[in-house]
Structure 1
Amino acid sequence: MSLNTAPKHIQLAVDLIQLLEENHIEPELALKALEIVTNDCQQKIAKQSKLED
């Protein structure tokens, strides 16, 4: 499967991994940052869900 035809979330994941590796981000630091990003996205999804109800 080509990256160009991969689902958008796979393309984004590959881009993020590349960004982290190119900037020599330590895996532990990346995980802590991604935890913050995950929480932020979950809050946005929850707000969006409430608006749709």
Structure 2
Amino acid sequence: MNEELPVSGLANAAEEVKLAVDLIFLLESNNIDTDVALAALEIVKQDLQAKR
């Protein structure tokens, strides 16, 4: 019996959605405090914008 598995909605998602899901998983699985995560993400955002 060779049944095909349905394609996950995430498999068809935009790259930024996939990355966001990965980042959320990383933060949650490491029990990162929400305020710390938001502060770190702001630093990352500023760094990436400076590199544009």
**TM-score bracket, shorter-length normalisation:** 0.7 to 0.9
Higher helix share: 1
Which structure's CA Rg is the greater one? 2
Q: Report the identity percentage.
A: 51
In the alignment, the residues of structure 2 paired with residue 3 and residue 33 of structure 1 have an alpha-carbon distance, to the nearest angstrom, of 25
1:18 aligns with 2:25: yes
User: What's the RMSD between the two structures over aligned residues?
Assistant: 1.0
In the alignment, the residues of structure 2 paired with residue 9 and residue 35 of structure 1 have an alpha-carbon distance, to the nearest angstrom, of 16
Deviations 1:1-52 (Å, cap 9, x if unpaired)?
Answer: 710100000000000000000000000000000010000000011xxxxxxx
Give 1:11's aligned amino acid. Answer: K
Q: After TM superposition, which residue ranges in structure 1, 4 or more long, deviate above 6 angstroms?
A: none
- Structure 1, unmatched stretches of 5+, are 46-53
How many positions carry a matched residue from both structures?
45
Q: TM-score, normalised by structure 2?
A: 0.83
Structure 1 residue corresponding to 2:14, chosen from 1, 7, 26: 7
